[in-house]
Chain A
Amino acid sequence: MSREWEMVVGLEVHCELSTATKLFCSSRNVFGDEPNTNVCPVCLGLPGSLPVLNAGAVELAMRVGDALHCEIRPSIFHRKNYFYPDMPKDYQISQYDEPINVAGWLELADGSRVGIERAHLEEDTGKTTHVGRGGRIHEATESLVDYNRAGVPLLEIVSAPDIRSADQARVYVGELRGILIATGASDARMEEGSLRVDANVSVRPAGSAELGTRAEIKNMNSLRSLGRAIEHEAERQVALLEAGEPVAQETRHWNEVEGRTSSLRSKEEAYDYRYFPEPDLLPVAPDPAWISKVRASAATLPAERRAQLSAAASDDGKADGEVPAGLVATLVELDLDGLVLGAIDAGAEPKLAVNRAANEAAARPDAARKLDPRAFAALLSMETSGRLSATQAKTVLGVMLEDGGDPADIARGRGFEGLSEEALAGVVDSVLAANPGEWQRFQDGDPKVSQFLVGQVMRETRGKANGKAVMALLAARKG
């Protein structure tokens, strides 16, 4: 975008909460089951059925609200009325003008803050699949509806229009994902639809304080398409304005294949949702004791986890000791910081632990999260000690991620084992015999000569020896 223009973006993120059961009934809340198996009269909206609020969903909403520095407040559910075949009641129960979380903020890694206007609870709809010709309802010959998702608890997190670039939008969603995962509120998987993002995009002359007319973009199913869609939409609006044409306030659809947005419905056709307070539910007023309990058991959030990992992984005081922020962020995002911290605790060399985790383990994060940090540390020290080459260490790590197991056993099984202690002792003895003068100086307490002796052992073993082990042997021989 040219310098004369500034984009203004606000995001609405819908995330499915990881409760055991749905928002208003005891049907199971799981992704990927056989269609229409996790349903009951309540989530199907059958005549006579009534919603009963799931306290677990309220608690997760409060956890996220707390992590986003929101005010947690008494709230009311409303009905949002519109017709759609995947909505069993033809209204959605949602929080409208009195949401549970208001007025918070989220700090990004670069220190910028994005305001959070609200984070409210609502129920998800069913899922329709349109069969035949195009994938849209008006082109379909048949529409299949799966109500397993109907009634799944959603938290809709609405940001202030504080975002100024597509990059910042991506970083914001990434950071939010981290918080949702850290709080245990959601698995936040965009590809499974448990995290969905709508973007409100407008542009204005740079430096202007007024907001331009905005368009809402829907249907972006990855961070990449979110960025592309925002970029494209802002450019489209700039082109319109520069041509002297107005921007219409409307809802637009992102077409991933064509890489452009198209009009879905204009404001004139916008639904009148006829909100009114849901008479089947009581107001939700979490009492102060409950809120304090949630606050007291708050999870460690990504920003703090990044700080912890950076500190643990950095060499003391050295200028080059900083671990790259990108690697740290990736590890926290993939929830692998615990593995690295555990390995460092167990004696692993910090930077190597970060690198192996971020480069090798990160390719298989689910398996990596199950690794025993002590086994990971043992593998890394086999590498630092020279018992394994870097290539061999990566191979062993691959096996550990695949099948688990002890790194020493795996290395032995593959014939990677370097030197036995016995063999090393033999090499040390022969080096001492070959260098009597140096040996004498070592025994006399000259510290400099130890590096020469270790170097000789390394040369003899072609680098396979563990330096610490050699030093230990020298010390033992000195007596």
Chain B
Amino acid sequence: MSEAVLALAQAVRHGDRSARELTEERLAAIATAEPEVHAFNLVTADAARAEADEVDRRVAAGEDVGPLAGLPVALKDNICTRGVPTTCSSRILDGWRPPYDATVVTRLRSAGAVIVGKTNLDEFAMGSSTENSAFGPTRNPHDPSRVPGGSSGGSAAAVAAGFVPMALGSDTGGSIRQPAALCGVVGVKPTYGVVSRYGLVAFASSLDQIGPLTGSVADAAALLEVVAGHDPEDSTSLAEPAPTVTSVLGDGVDGMRVGVVAELIDGVAPDVAARVRQAADALSSAGARVDEASVPAAVHGLSAYYLIAPAEASSNLARYDGVRYGLRVEAPDITAMYTATRSAGFGSEVKRRIMLGTYALSAGYYDAYYGQAQRVRTLIIRSFDAAYARFDALLAPTTPTTAFALGAKTADPLAMYLTDVCTVPSSLAGHPAMSVPFGSGDDGMPVGVQVLAPARGEAVMFRVGAALEALAPGPTGVDAVRSRREAVR
């Protein structure tokens, strides 16, 4: 798939294929299957056609249109697009159109990509199934009775369903990797600071990162190189160029030290654990030195995460008060207006996290909750540092199970939170991690294997990811969806 996608961009650059043609193909695919999947909040078909025509015009004029020439891309609907609604799948942003493009959008456009629409998500990226969307859930293209994962479920499903070859999501505690695993696509959370957050509507600022969801590791590498790199508009952006990842994909894992994280494999479903062990064996046979690794503090990741992320969210979401934009519910005085607006505008998961975060930060509880969680975060970083003293990269499951049924966990928030148990630790550490499809579970649904690397270890991570992809049993991504559906028929 990967070479095919990047070959398409090459063909557009050489004028052998037109961007308009590629766009029309994707729009047609969307028209056919989108009603069932509901990956998008908005398909910007006309704007996409115009952008594609502009790419074709520039190619005809002999201009260099960039590495993603003519490739249709979908954006998670918490990434700002100038003049186009950005909803975060929330009623509270009703009618709001950002007056600016996110930095990643600017970079995509200058790389020749064509933006086809905004994908569904859990409201403000809070959730693990894309069921917490004010506009209805997204369904897993492999099996529409199941969730696609979340919160970037729309982006993962859009890639898995073949609507777009690549999409951007955002990952706060696993929101790219977890849906990538459940939909059988590649998902990458870069090192914190590698991709600018300017224009990403904040959920938990110290954790949020934008990253690729693609059908292949090579596509993810190409997309990451385009959107990454220092941005003066984001103070937390690393002052260095984008990591070099496309050129290392064929370097293999010979001699590399890879550890399987014991704490993260314990307690996951046996079929998922079996796939991770199989992936480890495959790497071993490819020349890596594989051993068991321990990251003891990782077991506290989820507790720390569910204090830090809601605390930051409670602050980040305060601006949605009905005063300046979005929804306003009229009321007799200002406090009543705030209350009525926020009551009507936010869904229950968002309200739950605002309440949790407000409590965790409040006077008298700060030290017991938020302060303690930050200390745990430091422990987790140290725990990873110790592991990375022994290993170049770590291997873990991405999710505890394969995709679950819609509605299975909506009544039990804690059960839902537990689906992020394997992804949260590296988020707290700010380290990069990716999920690569690796076979399927007992139910035939995709399984993702997670590759973890130390901060700025993207090159190592992509080498391992590319090796895993090559060693994976059976088809992946869109091909897997196609073959699975054909088998069902």
Contacts and interface: CB of A to CB of B under 8 A. Distances in A.
A89 B315 CA distance: 8
B122 interface: no
A47 interface: yes
B311 interface: yes
B243 interface: no
A423 interface: no
A85 B319 CA distance: 10
B429 interface: no
A110 B189 CA distance: 63
Interface string A41-85: 100111111111100000000000000000000000001010101
A83 B98 CA distance: 23
B99 A52 contact: no
Interface string B88-128: 10000100101110100000000000000000000000000
Contact of A48 (B198, B323, B333): B198
Contacts of A472: none
A282 B363 CA distance: 24
A52 B235 contact: yes
A51 B315 CA distance: 15
B206 interface: yes
B99 A50 contact: no
B116 to A, nearest CB: 20
A137 interface: yes
A27 to B, nearest CB: 13
A320 interface: no
B338 A83 contact: yes
B205 A280 contact: yes
Contacts of B205: 279-280
A91 to B, nearest CB: 5
Nearest to A44: B324
A45 B201 CA distance: 11
Interface residues of A, number: 31
Given A47-B80, A47-B93, A274-B315, A53 B363 contact: no
B233 interface: yes
Nearest to A79: B315
A254 to B, nearest CB: 23
Interface string B343-368: 00000000000000010011100100
Contact of B198 (A44, A50, A85): A50
Interface in A133-172: 137-138, 143, 145
B198 A49 contact: yes
B99 A41 contact: yes
A417 interface: no
A282 B235 contact: yes
Contact of B200 (A48, A81, A281): A48
B236 A280 contact: yes
Contacts of B370: 276
Contacts of B361: 81, 274-276
Contacts of A50: 197-198, 233-236
A91 B314 CA distance: 11
A88 B324 contact: yes
Contacts of A48: 78-80, 86, 98, 100, 102, 198-202
B362 A274 contact: yes
B76 to A, nearest CB: 12
A79 B206 CA distance: 13
Contacts of A275: 361
A231 interface: no
Given A90-B318, A276-B361, A85 B235 contact: no
A83 B321 contact: yes
Interface residues of B, number: 44
A91 B198 contact: no
B470 interface: no
B362 A272 contact: yes
Q: Is the interface of B mostly helix, strand, loop or mixed?
A: loop
Q: Is the interface of A mostly helix, strand, loop or mixed?
A: loop
B351 to A, nearest CB: 16
B232 interface: yes
A277 to B, nearest CB: 9
B51 interface: no
Given A44-B324, A52-B232, A281-B235, A88 B319 contact: yes
Given A47-B202, A280-B235, A282-B235, A137 B321 contact: no
A283 to B, nearest CB: 11
A137 B334 contact: yes
A279 B93 CA distance: 23
A143 B324 CA distance: 12
Contact of B358 (A46, A88, A274): A274
B312 interface: yes
Nearest to A273: B363
B321 A279 contact: no
Interface string B381-398: 000000000000000000
Q: Which of B100, B199, B319 counts the most chain A CB atoms within 10 A? A: B319
A64 B204 CA distance: 35
B311 A276 contact: yes
B319 A47 contact: yes
Q: Which of A85, A138, A281 counts the most chain B CB atoms within 10 A? A: A85
Contacts of B93: 47
Contacts of A81: 314-315, 318, 361
A272 B202 CA distance: 23
A89 B319 contact: yes
B233 A91 contact: no
Contacts of B366: 274, 276
Contacts of A280: 202, 205, 235-236
A21 to B, nearest CB: 14
B324 A47 contact: no
Contacts of A89: 318-319
A49 B206 CA distance: 14
21 contacts: A48-B79, A48-B86, A48-B102, A49-B198, A52-B232, A52-B235, A81-B314, A89-B319, A90-B319, A143-B334, A145-B323, A274-B315, A274-B358, A274-B361, A274-B362, A274-B363, A275-B361, A279-B204, A279-B206, A280-B235, A281-B236
Given A48-B202, A90-B318, 18 more contacts: A47-B201, A48-B78, A48-B80, A50-B197, A83-B318, A83-B321, A88-B324, A91-B318, A138-B333, A143-B334, A272-B363, A274-B314, A274-B315, A276-B311, A276-B361, A280-B202, A280-B235, A281-B236
A-B interface, 4 closest residue pairs, ranked by CB to CB distance from nearest: A90-B318, A279-B206, A274-B361, A279-B205
